[in-house]
A and B are shown apart, each in its own frame.
Chain A
């Protein structure tokens, strides 16, 4: 399996999380729990587990070798930026040194100016970075980034409409709630250190080149009444780190005195031009650049690299959705829902609705109380039914007793039959069987009226009436009516 960088994994994880929004949670749970059971080590760090997860997903998605993920593209973009910064840094260092150490044989190169430009400026910017980072002033750092070549290059990248650069551009422009802001800052700082290391190497290369192919003479001058001994002490102090390692790069008082010159006199303090001696300052400058330029920048590169990796890891674990992935991987997949589609319910055939009974004179009816539903003579009269005789069926009655009731009622050849039922119970098939038997024995035109009673005389609820109407419609009986009692 191809080894991906942290950044590539971060970009791919964020992409996958975005793609997962289109997938159902159940599918995600199954997929991630499977990965968790097969590959995950729950005790390892979140970053390790997320990287393992994205590697398995890449494998499952079957990303062929010819396809390049957004993560790889992002890493490639960063690599391009790093390469460009190295080139730019080295060129800048070379040009800067050539300019600062320009010597045409008339005036010696001012050693103080050379140190200021080649070393102090770098130390100053490093100090600024340290102070602002420690003080936590992101706004100032953002403003300073105008001068940062890495930020400038990244800014340019954002404006280039390239598929390869899209991933990194998206990452550095994203507004994730945690992590990403820190990552953007760390990335710029880390990239800038590549530039400065290259700058120092460029300075060193140019210095060595000038020393090798030309004769350089260094000196120092000032309008102020400065004691040469103080300057010597100061310069010697600077060379303390290498004084025992490279004694030749420690300026002595004689060299400092010799190197002082006055432009008006056009000569050195001692009046002697000792070109070889004045040229020996180069090794001091070289050591200054090495110790105060290159070395701190290499250290800064290493530290910022570690911080950048941490920021990428932080952005990975704090990415919106990363927590959910880890939870899905480590938690048992608990499922309680039904398997497959619900085919347990029937779709009712649409039957013609029951017709409404015409109101008019009272209809003399034989009354059946089904399953101990209580009839109420007054209420029946109120709905135009004149109860003649009351029978009981259903409930505790046996089927044989129900059949006898049907025979008995049909023998009376009634003008109408009212069946009182409990509105709160549904129309059961058993009851429909009873009505069917009754109809078979009665005249087809004999009204069969199902009266719905309620528990405490309240109104029949709409859904109850609806349920009874729907159930009784299955009998397709034109003389069957259902009414609240």
Chain B
């Protein structure tokens, strides 16, 4: 027979962060978290599956509402300590169809089915006698249990809680659902195996898989950032100008280009967030500011679809080819002067003659015209600004827990703190990639991979992640 998978019922007083803990551990932002009591009235399960195979399951339960009354019922129906589990079972069976103890029946059902108990209290408020009945009922179920001290507010009453909790629970852990780092979450998960030896292997397997998933998320996010950055560095907008001095047209094109960059950055942000299961995360971030002098507006013209430089090169090659015939005809006596002169004449003709062709029409089609090219941005700091913003965002998203429901506030520093974390040799290498990309050169796969490595290492060594861990 297949061994039963570990199931953990998250139980406790209403509004003490049960749903927050589930939200963080299940990395699920869809969990309803409300300051109003009794928001959760039914159990909701969160299976942890790897390729469809369930390794453990979390059950979010409604909070106790009438614990004293339930305890009173149980005490009245119990004759000795040996019948406690049976009494609890009878209570659930008898009261299941009555509204009065709906929350108690709902939360006790998975426990009676074999779930381990994770009893959640808020360590930022003092202990009160109203909790005793709840803890006593849980003890009566006879299931392995652990107390989790969550911290919703700022105050700390951990010491006050230690004594009552240790009377009912062998294991007491501190876990802040709002700020717990990923390592801390994994530590808590593997800690659940202390409740039963049988749960050690599936929980360890689950922890390994979650860590692998985390690594992959980081890599994919860094890849997304890398591709997004290069795309933004290479971005440009070309539009045909009726009049090369039309300032309104120029301003409009510059504005459209800026909006394009902002859209590209937002798309990059959303994709990174989706890797971490955030789908509608509200974000507050200073808009990407680009100085107009960095936009590199270039008014140029094209003939036969060739830029001025291309046209000159083409003219030079054509001239050189003609000159070389002269050289060949003279048997080399002209010492390749023909080729050289031809190239100069061809190039010069293209340079000076081309302007005259603008406005000329052949069969009604224009030969050339003025074009406005906005971007790519050539300011050397621009790639680093983008880089710093993207890395900061990834750091915040990767450290955020799903219990947090506020806006993601991205406060950017100058970016120098991020850049200073990169060894100078690596910084030069990245600068070279950025410069190449801004010039429109294709970025090699190895270069992209290097950038991915740098981003992942920068996020991994962020000092904030260690500060957020609490000691158990």
Residues of chain A whose beta carbon lies under 8 Å from any beta carbon of chain B = 24-25, 33, 37, 116, 139-140, 142-144, 146-147, 155, 175, 177-182, 222, 224, 226, 314, 317-318, 320, 323-324, 327, 331-339, 342-346, 348, 371-372, 394-396, 398-399, 422, 424-430, 433, 455, 463-464, 466-467, 470-471
B379 within 8 A of A: no
B364 within 8 A of A: no
Q: How far is B208's CA from A331's CA once the two chains are assembled, in angstroms?
A: 13
The total of chain B residues at the interface (CB under 8 A) is 79
B443 within 8 A of A: yes
Q: Which residues from chain A contact B210 at a C-beta distance below 8 Å?
A: 334, 336
Q: Which residues from chain A contact B314 at a C-beta distance below 8 Å?
A: 143-144, 146
**In the complex, per-residue mask of B53-74: 1 if CB is within 8 Å of any chain A CB, else 0:** 0000000101011111100100
In the complex, the chain B residue whose C-beta lies closest to that of A395 is B129
Q: Among residues 262 to 319 in chain B, which have CB atoms less than 8 Å away from a CB atom of chain A? A: 274-275, 277, 279, 304-306, 309-310, 313-314, 317
- CB atoms of A332 and B50 under 8 A apart: yes
- CB atoms of B32 and A331 under 8 A apart: no
Beyond A337-B27, A430-B66, is A344–B230 a contact (Cβ under 8 Å)?
no
- CB atoms of B445 and A344 under 8 A apart: no
Q: Which residues from chain A contact B380 at a C-beta distance below 8 Å?
A: none
Q: Which residues from chain A contact B50 at a C-beta distance below 8 Å?
A: 332-334
Contact among B31, B213, B216, B227 with A177 in the assembled complex (CB-CB below 8 Å): B227
- CB atoms of A471 and B234 under 8 A apart: no
- CB atoms of B68 and A337 under 8 A apart: no
Q: How far is B314's CA from A373's CA once the two chains are assembled, in angstroms?
A: 91
In the complex, the chain B residue whose C-beta lies closest to that of A398 is B72
- CB atoms of A427 and B37 under 8 A apart: yes
**30 A-B Cβ contacts within 8 A?**
A139-B313, A140-B313, A143-B313, A143-B317, A155-B305, A177-B442, A178-B444, A314-B445, A323-B220, A324-B220, A324-B223, A327-B216, A333-B52, A334-B210, A336-B25, A337-B27, A338-B28, A338-B45, A342-B31, A342-B44, A345-B34, A348-B36, A395-B128, A396-B132, A424-B125, A425-B13, A429-B103, A430-B65, A467-B15, A471-B37
Q: How far is B334's CA from A224's CA once the two chains are assembled, in angstroms?
A: 13
Task: Known pairs A334-B213, A425-B125, A429-B66; list 10 more (Cβ under 8 Å).
Answer: A37-B51, A139-B309, A177-B230, A344-B32, A345-B41, A425-B13, A426-B37, A429-B65, A467-B36, A470-B36
Q: How far is B305's CA from A155's CA once the two chains are assembled, in angstroms?
A: 10
Closest Cβ–Cβ distance, residue B302 to chain A (whole Å): 13
In the complex, the chain A residue whose C-beta lies closest to that of B41 is A346
Closest 9 A/B residue pairs (Cβ) = A426-B37, A395-B129, A143-B313, A429-B65, A344-B44, A337-B28, A345-B32, A396-B129, A344-B42
Number of inter-chain CB pairs below 8 Å: 189
**A24, A332, A337: most-surrounded residue (chain B CB, <10 A):** A337
Beyond A116-B328, A177-B234, A430-B67, is A332–B209 a contact (Cβ under 8 Å)?
yes
Q: How far is B130's CA from A417's CA once the two chains are assembled, in angstroms?
A: 22
Closest Cβ–Cβ distance, residue A31 to chain B (whole Å): 13
Residues of chain B whose beta carbon lies under 8 Å from any beta carbon of chain A = 13-15, 25-28, 30-32, 34-52, 60, 62, 64-69, 72, 103, 125-126, 128-130, 132, 153, 155, 209-210, 212-213, 216, 219-220, 223, 227, 230-231, 234, 274-275, 277, 279, 304-306, 309-310, 313-314, 317, 328, 331, 437, 442-445, 448
Beyond A336-B28, A342-B31, is A425–B128 a contact (Cβ under 8 Å)?
yes
- CB atoms of A463 and B35 under 8 A apart: yes
- CB atoms of A399 and B69 under 8 A apart: yes
- CB atoms of A333 and B51 under 8 A apart: yes
Closest Cβ–Cβ distance, residue A393 to chain B (whole Å): 11
Closest Cβ–Cβ distance, residue B60 to chain A (whole Å): 7
Q: How far is B271's CA from A13's CA once the two chains are assembled, in angstroms?
A: 19
- CB atoms of B125 and A344 under 8 A apart: no
- CB atoms of A337 and B46 under 8 A apart: yes
Beyond A140-B313, A344-B41, is A334–B209 a contact (Cβ under 8 Å)?
yes
In the complex, the chain A residue whose C-beta lies closest to that of B219 is A327
Q: Which residues from chain A contact B309 at a C-beta distance below 8 Å?
A: 139
Closest Cβ–Cβ distance, residue A444 to chain B (whole Å): 24
Q: Which residues from chain B contact A344 at a C-beta distance below 8 Å?
A: 32, 40-44, 60, 62
Q: Which residues from chain B contact A342 at a C-beta distance below 8 Å?
A: 30-32, 44
